[in-house]
Structure 1
Amino acid sequence: MMTLTKTPTKIAIKPQNLNSTDCRELLQASFLQAVLEGLEDGILIVNAMGELVHANASAHLICSQLNQENRPANFVSPLIWQLCQSLLDSHGLPSEQLMILSDEIVLNQSHIFRVRVRLVNLPGFQIPYFLVTIENRSESQRNSAIAEVKKYDLTPREAEIWCLYRGNSSYKDIAAKLYITMNTVKKHMKNIHAKRQAFLEK
């Protein structure tokens, strides 16, 4: 049985024991591991039995939010496994190498995840594996909103309102969270849209 392991991002290399090819391969592996661990998106490798083979740091965090029921830690969430199973069921179709299935998992308004699954056949392995990427949509929207605050030169209050709005909050929710009236929210949103339009027309 395969178990989920977290690989350290740094690999100790002893040059005196390695030839240049081995050293280069270890450096490449270390580099790729560091890149995977640094990604904001969760990256999972799952086998055809639903067992996790590898997960980066973001995936560990996201999976802990998805695995609310008492499931073994080395198995993928049923929500993700359903998507993997659908892809496995379609295995053998003419377009299988290009096929990627995608779906959204909504836990609540602030926890929305986009899951993409692709079937990969790795050299030297008899069974197919799934490459699963999980994007925290809420976090992505928040990061986009923060970038837009700077881009559109929004005031601190406009920034608060815009970040909540981009996080799928209604005008009513924004007003309640910021202890302001709906009319104030509407006024600020009108200013924000004017600034956005001015930026687009530059």
Structure 2
Amino acid sequence: MMTASLSSKADQPSSTHSPLQPLSLQKGQLTPSQIVQIGKTTLETHIGSVLIVTDDNQVLYVTESLPGRLKALTETGKDGSFTTQEINFICQVLKQSRDRFPSQNWAIEFDIFTKDAISLRIRSRWLKLEGIDRPCILLIVEDRQQFIQDMVLDEVQDWGLTAREREVWLLHRDGYTYKQIAAKLYITLNTVKKHMRSIHAKRKVQAEPS
């Protein structure tokens, strides 16, 4: 699987693909077998909201939490439908990637930062559903901070990190530099480096086959 990570809309591609039509919570419903195929835990995640569309822009599934999570990015119609340039953009990128490299199965992660200090992470990938004759796109929209915190919590438990190492690693995962981590935690730069060496050592031990 090929993975691309995007952080802005600055390099939006030109495309002949048409954008998604306004999305509505009234559209689409998955069959029980399709839910099992995707994974019930994915659709019921408390962190992420889910959208599934076909490559010709037919909406198959929208979780009720999606409009609220995308509130800062959407334009809402009188009928309750909503549109977002970011969702359209990601679908366009996936389609272009497939057109250019049809043998690869692409996945894209897209971080969005709004003027209201809201940070979202959108994960997307191609999906083949039984009973649907067209390729589908699965998009999971998550609170970026919550996503990072949950990921770090798992790593802390797996690697046996100390409380201070957890604080350092969380900031590192969130994109802070060593100097910024030192300033944030009121510790020296050398102390940050010491903690990071310890974290990577524990990470390496955990990754080694038993």
**TM-score normalised to structure 1 length:** 0.59
Alignment pair present for 1:83 and 2:90: yes
Task: Name the amino acid aligned to 1:148.
Answer: E
Give the equivalent residue in structure 2 for 1:185: 192
Alignment pair present for 1:144 and 2:165: no
Alignment pair present for 1:195 and 2:170: no
Could you say if the C-alpha distance between residues 160 and 92 of structure 1 is closer, same or farther in structure 2, counting changes exceeding 3 Å? closer
Native 8 Å contact 1:80 1:115 kept in 2: no
Could you say if the C-alpha distance between residues 80 and 167 of structure 1 is closer, same or farther in structure 2, counting changes exceeding 3 Å? same
Alignment pair present for 1:133 and 2:139: yes
CA distance in 2, matches of 1:150, 1:90: 36
Task: Name the amino acid aligned to 1:162.
Answer: W
Give the equivalent residue in structure 1 for 2:174: 167
Task: Figure out how many residues of one structure are paired with residues of the other and give that number.
Answer: 177
Native 8 Å contact 1:43 1:133 kept in 2: yes
Could you say if the C-alpha distance between residues 66 and 118 of structure 1 is closer, same or farther in structure 2, counting changes exceeding 3 Å? farther
Segments of structure 1 that go 5 or more residues without pairing to the other structure are 8-24
Q: 1:3 aligns with which of 16, 24, 38?
A: 24
Could you say if the C-alpha distance between residues 37 and 180 of structure 1 is closer, same or farther in structure 2, counting changes exceeding 3 Å? same
Alignment pair present for 1:113 and 2:156: no
Q: Which gives a bigger RCO, structure 1 or 2 (Cα 8 Å, sep 6+)?
A: 2
Q: How does 1:46-61 map to 2 (within 5 A)?
A: 46=53, 54-57=61-64, 59-61=66-68
Native 8 Å contact 2:123 2:139 kept in 1: yes
SS in 2 for 1:43: strand
Could you say if the C-alpha distance between residues 155 and 50 of structure 1 is closer, same or farther in structure 2, counting changes exceeding 3 Å? same
Aligned alpha-carbon RMSD (Å)? 4.5
Native 8 Å contact 1:5 1:53 kept in 2: no
Could you say if the C-alpha distance between residues 191 and 49 of structure 1 is closer, same or farther in structure 2, counting changes exceeding 3 Å? closer
Over the matched positions of the two proteins, sequence identity in percent amounts to: 29
Deviations 1:151-199 (A, max 9, x none): 2222111111112112222112222222222222122222222333343
Segments of structure 2 that go 5 or more residues without pairing to the other structure are 1-21
Native 8 Å contact 2:105 2:126 kept in 1: yes
